[in-house]
Every structure is written in structure tokens, then in C-alpha cells.
Amino acid sequence: MRILVAMSGGVDSSVVAGLLKHEGHEVIGATLQLYDHGQTAKAGACCAGRDIMDARAVADQLDIPHYVVDAEERFRSSVIDQFAESYARGETPVPCVACNQGVKFTDLLGMARDLGCEAMATGHYVRRVETATGAELHRPADVDRDQSWFLFATTQDQLDFLRFPLGGMPDKAVVRAQADAMGLAIAAKPDSQDICFVPNGSYADIVARMKPETREPGEIVDEQGRVLGRHDGIARYTVGQSKRLGDINTQSANGVRQMVTGIDAPSRRIIVGPRQGSGRTIFGLRNMNWLFDVPPDGVECSVQIRARETPRAAMVRRDGDGAQVTLLEPAMPAPGQACVLYQGSRVLGGGFIRRERI
């Protein structure tokens, strides 16, 4: 079949293109130009980064057509701007989810349909399981590379069209070996790290440039409003963290370790409380995406409220466009982060953690 492969220039999506080509499909490569790579070059200079050149070289090597798709404007408005605005609201966003949902699985996928493709494949590490009632999304064979948490917002319609050929790969070494066997020059290329549009790892600087108020200093207070210290900008804090609290950790009442329990953006206050015994069992989710028919009285499942952590037992009920989560044990869900519902390896759906206070 005619299938579009989203090629990032990395090892994973290159191997996907190669595998599908070797299976005899008509493969079309597409690479999204998401932001101006030539940040040191002047306007009008070529903006192609190394990754685009790599993707193009792989496509040439595989002898498949390859296109560079300009998504800069859409990426800026739907991912980078939202990223900064979320921090300014006192949340901790997950830009990869926004990117997968908008630029990749809406725009590029729409383009694949326009081009008469029957499917679109990516190098994500998740498994897609075909069933009589439609495709299911599962954790991959290689749990160390699990990207299912970042893909919870994939709709059923998108999932039916998508393919994730790496979901069954036992580990990355096998993928690299495949790349090597295909003779791809990128076989030894390092994995991409962190947030792609934050070149030097300092996301707070980017946020501060777009939302200067996030760099304004403010107070660190306890839950009774007593000022315990000061901070240098709310964007550096996430609910649940104990870093960047200075000596508050040792100063506090009974010497118990403290952590951030809330971020009040309008007053620029970071609220802290004791690490032990903090947390809540009930919280709300917004922009819920369901990948199964949720029963009216909810579903018992496990939920994962951070990118890397052990799932927690929970009961989840639909609540309009959102959902209400009841945890068995209290936890510290960070507003803006994703809460993804699992049953075994299967993704049942997910949403973004609401900001509301307890």
C-alpha cells in the first residue's frame, strides 16, 4: 500500500521507512520543518537542520520520494506558544503531546490522506493491536522506550490510520542493528533528548523570553500563607518537586522534607507542604480522549501521571469532556501533565490534569 512515513532523521523512523520499503510498500517520506534550525544564520538563510539533511539522505539511500513539510507557524502557535502559556498559568506542560496531536497526527496525517495514502507510520515505540472493533494502543515490547504516555491523545480515527512498526522491537540495539544492516549512515546517531525546540536544555529561558512574567521573582509560602523564602520565577517549579526550595527543606516546622504542592500564577506564589502525607486522591482531567467505551459508572484501571513512573490503581469516571480520577493512594498530580489510563498494556485514554486546588 501507499504509506507515508514521518521521518525525523533519527534512527527509529529511518528504520521504519526501510522496513516498510523492504516489505514492498510504496513508501513516501516526509520530514516536518518545525522550527528554524539556523538560529545563528540571518533571515532568509537556509533553515534546514542536520536532521532534515539526514532524513533526506536516508530517503535517497532507500530510493523513496521525500518531502520537507513546512510546519513552523503551526508548531509555534500550537506547541511553543502553548508551552509558554501553560507555564505562565502555573502548569507543567507536555509539549510532545501537543505536537503529536496537532502537527503530526492532524496536519501530517491529513496530508497523508490527501496524497492517497492508506496509512501513516512513525518511529514511536508503542504497539497497535488490530481488533474486530478497531485498533488498540498498547505499551511496546521494549518498556524502556515506552512512548504510549505521550500518545494518549491519539484519537480512534487516527489510530486506525497509523502504524507503529517498532512497537514489537525487543530493544534499541535491534533497531540500530537493522539500520546498520540496511546500510543507513545514521545507524549510530545518538538518540534525541528532551524537548526538541530547547537547544541547550534551558526551557525556562525560552519561556521567560516569551512570557517575561514567568521570570519575575516571588514568594515561597506554606499552606497557611506564611512566607518561607523567595524564588526566581514560577516556570522553574512543578508540583511535586523538592528541588530549588533552598533551605526551606531543613527550616520547616518539624524538619520534614518539603515539596511544591501548588503554583499560584497570579500572585507568583510557590506553595510548599511536607512531602510526607501530602497529596490527594481525587483530581480532574480535561480534554479527555477515550480509546474505549467507558462504562457510565467508570472504570477501574491504572493511571500514570508522569512520563516515567509506576502506574497507580485508580477509578476513573467520565465527567463531560473531562474525567474524574480517584486514586487508591494519594499522589501529587502536577497540573498540565498527562494522566494516562491503562489496563494491562492497553491505553484506555487519558487527559490533562486540571489546575483546580483541593
Partner 1 sequence: MTVYLDANATEPPRPAALEALTEVARLTGNPSSVHAFGREGRRVLETARRSLAEPFGTHAEQVIFTSGGTEADALAVHGFGHGRRLLVGATEHDAVLQARPERDILPVHADGTLDLAALERALAGDSPAMVCAMAANNETGVLHPLHDIAALCRKAGAWLHVDAVQAPGRLALDFAASGADSMAISGHKFGGVKGAGALLLRGPSRVEPLMVGGGQERGRRGGTPALPAIAAMTAALTEALGDDVRRIAVLRDRLENDARAAGAMVVGDRASRLGNTTCLVLAGVSAQTQLMTLDLDGIAVSAGSACSSGKVSASHVLRAMGYGPEAGQAIRVSLPWNVAEGDVEAFLSAYQRMTARLGRRDP
Active site positions, annotated: 99, 196
Cell numbers 499522589 correspond to 331
User: What stretch of H or E contains 70?
Assistant: strand 66-70
Is 11 annotated among the ligand-binding residues?
A: yes
Q: Which of 21, 25, 56, 269 binds partner 1 (CB under 8 A)?
A: 56
Is 278 annotated among the ligand-binding residues?
A: no
- Least distance in Å: CB of 39 to partner 1? 14
DSSP string for residues in 6-68: E--SSHHHHHHHHHHHHTT-EEEEEEEE-S-S-TTSPTTS----HHHHHHHHHHHHHT--EEE
| Best CA proximity match to 30, nearest among 107, 94, 135 | 107
Is 327 annotated among the ligand-binding residues?
A: no
Q: Residue 229 has which C-alpha cell?
A: 523564602
46 binds partner 1 (CB under 8 A): yes
Cβ nearer to partner 1, comparing 66 with 138? 66
Buried b / exposed e over 326-339, threshold 16 CB at 10 Å, is bbeeebbbbbbbbb
Cβ nearer to partner 1, comparing 115 with 282? 115
Amino acid identity of residue 352, one-letter, is F
Is 32 annotated among the ligand-binding residues?
A: yes
- Least distance in Å: CB of 2 to partner 1? 8
Cβ nearer to partner 1, comparing 26 with 81? 26
- Interface stretch with partner 1, choices 61-69, 90-98, 246-254, 325-333 (CB under 8 A): 61-69
Is 6 annotated among the ligand-binding residues?
A: yes
60 binds partner 1 (CB under 8 A): no
67 binds partner 1 (CB under 8 A): yes
Q: Which of 48, 174, 196, 210 binds partner 1 (CB under 8 A)?
A: 48
> Rounded distance, CA 246 to CA 230, Å?
9
Q: How many residues does the chain have?
A: 358
Cβ nearer to partner 1, comparing 115 with 129? 115
Binding to partner 1 (CB under 8 A) within 19-38 occurs at 28, 33
Binding to partner 1 (CB under 8 A) within 111-130 occurs at 111, 114-116
Is 12 annotated among the ligand-binding residues?
A: yes
| Best CA proximity match to 35, nearest among 101, 126, 103 | 103
Q: Which of 44, 190, 255, 296 binds partner 1 (CB under 8 A)?
A: 44
- What is the four-CA torsion angle of 333, 336, 341, 345, rounded to 10 degrees? -100
Cβ nearer to partner 1, comparing 111 with 315? 111
User: What stretch of H or E contains 98?
Assistant: helix 95-99
Residue 265: count other Cβ atoms within 10 Å of its Cβ. 17
Cβ nearer to partner 1, comparing 49 with 333? 49
> Rounded distance, CA 45 to CA 47, Å?
6
**Count of residues binding partner 1 (CB under 8 A)?**
19
- Interface stretch with partner 1, choices 67-75, 91-99, 173-181, 320-328 (CB under 8 A): 67-75
41 binds partner 1 (CB under 8 A): no
Buried b / exposed e over 208-217, threshold 16 CB at 10 Å, is beebeebbee
70 binds partner 1 (CB under 8 A): yes
Q: Which of 11, 17, 52, 332 binds partner 1 (CB under 8 A)?
A: 52
Could you list the residues known to form a binding site, using ranges. Answer: 6-13, 32, 123
Query: Using CB under 8 A as the criterion, which residues of the chain lie in contact with partner 1 when the complex forms?
Result: 28, 33, 42, 44, 46-48, 52, 56, 65-70, 111, 114-116
